[in-house]
Structure 1
Amino acid sequence: MKVRALLTESPAPLAPGDPVETALATLLEHGVAHQPVVDDTGALVGLVSEEQLLEAPDAEAPVRALLGARPVSVRPGAHVFDATRAMVEHDLSVLPVAEPITNVGSSAADSVTETAANGVHAARQHNAASAEAPERYLGVVHRRDLFERFARMLSTQEPGAILALEAEQRDYSLAQLVHLIEQSDVKVLSVASEPADGQGGPRRLTVKLNATDTTRVCHMLEHNGFDIVASFGEQDDEILERVQEFMRYLEV
């Protein structure tokens, strides 16, 4: 999924001449801790934080007095993974989305955006090569929207059990994992992978399944070298079934 799918124009950006107190009121109204600053040409010129505004000595001073280096931004054609990495690295509540302002027409600018392999990295290279080159502000991506998107990507709202397991890096194969699970007539809804203990060590995998009975799946995985750390979701279904049986008994 690309960043443009989560792009929003709310809240509206600040102008360089807006007073600090106005900026603080806007942050409070929209429940964010950062807000882009855009000049009258539509160019992104900064990003102010709640901390900066609260520490400003004069509440009536313009926010331009708080601006520093060009803020990090992401291209609309970048993947949401790139936006997430930038947001986490810089601890942002909103991430500006911008594109280069060129003199060769909008179609060329769109081409640059779409062909960049990494939207955030491309923006940094562009800024490093031409520190004064302006970027046209398009909107922001909210941290909460990224969180909701990842929740959907991981199928957190769908019923089913969750397995937490580990496998050695050299032996780990996603194709093998899915094949073993599907041999038990169970489908994989999502898989998340991360290093269990630094680089080069075992991988920690979190697998969401479309079934609640994982007895056969766990046996199959353990037999093939996967270490089942924990499972979730089965006990809740058992409790629900017992409650339903008790309610049927009361009705009789």
Structure 2
Amino acid sequence: MPLDALIEPTIPVLKPSDTVDDALRMIAETHLEQLPLVNGKNYLGMVKESILLDWENPDDELSVFEGRLNRLFCHVQLHPFEAVKMAIQNKVPVVPVLNQEQEYLGSISRDALFYYLGENGSLNEPGGIIVLEMKLGDYSLGQIARICEGENVIILNSRVYTNTQTGMLEVTLKTNKQELQTVVAAFERFEYTVKEVYGDLPAYDDLAQRYKLLMTYINM
């Protein structure tokens, strides 16, 4: 799915002519602690509720913040997983999307991105998660898949992440089986380090639980 297909037209934008008080009302109405500031098609940055609350004059226009805002955004050609990563790492409720001409196209909420990841990352399928740790030179997805197949376990999806603190590769596997003892034992026989195991994983409806599972799944 292209990133622009996830854009939510209901997410409002702030204009430079809006006042600080206007922005606070809009943030309260949307329950989003940050909103994009846009002048026509020109994206100026994200306006935080905390900055507005600390501002002395509520009648000042938002143009006073131009040039001082975080211009966090995703280009439309990026994969939605990159938008998820951006939302999580920067702790923002919405991710603005720009085209190749740097024009503002719209924004995507963090909740919508989580829902997309859950629907498209096999997270709603029954099964479990295994996290392997290894040196970069030891990584072979083919061998990992053969070990799983030998235990009648299918890899539904995988993520590869380099831990910057340890320099080790972490490979997260979403499997179709909830009972993972035999495949874990098989990995250990092949001298793989099994860092984490999450078995018997039901579909999560609670956002906090889904957030925790997504963090494990995409290794962020």
TM-score by length of structure 2 reads 0.78
**Conserved? CA contact 2:19–2:60, under 8 Å:** yes
**Conserved? CA contact 1:2–1:80, under 8 Å:** yes
Q: Which residue of 1 aligns with 2:189?
A: 223
Q: Which residue of 2 aligns with 1:4?
A: 4
1:84–1:234 CA distance, 2 compared to 1 (3 A)? closer
Looking at structure 2, the residues matched to 94 and 137 of structure 1 have their Cα atoms a distance apart, in angstroms, of 13
More strand per residue: 2
**Local SS of the residue matching 2:136:** coil
Looking at structure 1, the residues matched to 89 and 128 of structure 2 have their Cα atoms a distance apart, in angstroms, of 32
Is 1:15 equivalent to 2:15 in the alignment? yes
Q: Which residue of 2 aligns with 1:210?
A: 176
Superposed displacement of residue 69, structure 1: 4.7
Is 1:174 equivalent to 2:152 in the alignment? no
**Conserved? CA contact 2:160–2:171, under 8 Å:** yes
Superposed displacement of residue 188, structure 1: 0.9
**Conserved? CA contact 2:44–2:67, under 8 Å:** no
Looking at structure 1, the residues matched to 120 and 201 of structure 2 have their Cα atoms a distance apart, in angstroms, of 24
**Conserved? CA contact 2:76–2:100, under 8 Å:** no
Looking at structure 1, the residues matched to 148 and 180 of structure 2 have their Cα atoms a distance apart, in angstroms, of 9
Deviations 1:74-126 (A, max 9, x none): 2222222333444455443222212355xxxxxxxxxxxxxxxxxxxxxxxxx
Looking at structure 1, the residues matched to 89 and 178 of structure 2 have their Cα atoms a distance apart, in angstroms, of 36
Q: Which residue of 1 aligns with 2:121?
A: 154
Matched to 1:44, the amino acid is: Y
1:232–1:96 CA distance, 2 compared to 1 (3 A)? closer
1:137–1:231 CA distance, 2 compared to 1 (3 A)? closer
Looking at structure 2, the residues matched to 63 and 235 of structure 1 have their Cα atoms a distance apart, in angstroms, of 46
More helix per residue: 1
Alignment of 1:97-108 (within 5 A): 97-99=97-99
Superposed displacement of residue 23, structure 1: 0.8
Q: Which residue of 2 aligns with 1:75?
A: 75
**Conserved? CA contact 1:10–1:139, under 8 Å:** no
Looking at structure 2, the residues matched to 176 and 2 of structure 1 have their Cα atoms a distance apart, in angstroms, of 32
**Local SS of the residue matching 2:72:** coil
1:158–1:12 CA distance, 2 compared to 1 (3 A)? same
- Can you give the 5+ residue segments of structure 2 that lack an aligned partner in the other structure? 203-220
Q: Which residue of 2 aligns with 1:189?
A: 156
Alignment of 1:21-40 (within 5 A): 21-39=21-39
Superposed displacement of residue 57, structure 1: 0.8
1:206–1:98 CA distance, 2 compared to 1 (3 A)? closer
Looking at structure 1, the residues matched to 141 and 10 of structure 2 have their Cα atoms a distance apart, in angstroms, of 39
Is 1:163 equivalent to 2:130 in the alignment? yes
**Conserved? CA contact 1:34–1:47, under 8 Å:** yes
Q: Which residue of 1 aligns with 2:61?
A: 62
Looking at structure 1, the residues matched to 94 and 194 of structure 2 have their Cα atoms a distance apart, in angstroms, of 37
Looking at structure 1, the residues matched to 167 and 42 of structure 2 have their Cα atoms a distance apart, in angstroms, of 43
- Can you give the 5+ residue segments of structure 1 that lack an aligned partner in the other structure? 102-134, 237-252
State which drifts further: 58-67 or 42-51.
42-51
Superposed displacement of residue 177, structure 1: 0.6
State which drifts further: 213-222 or 30-39.
213-222
Matched to 1:166, the amino acid is: E
Alignment of 1:107-118 (within 5 A): none
**Local SS of the residue matching 2:75:** coil
Deviations 1:149-180 (A, max 9, x none): 23334322221132233223211111211121
1:20–1:173 CA distance, 2 compared to 1 (3 A)? same
TM-score by length of structure 1 reads 0.69
State which drifts further: 49-58 or 149-158.
149-158
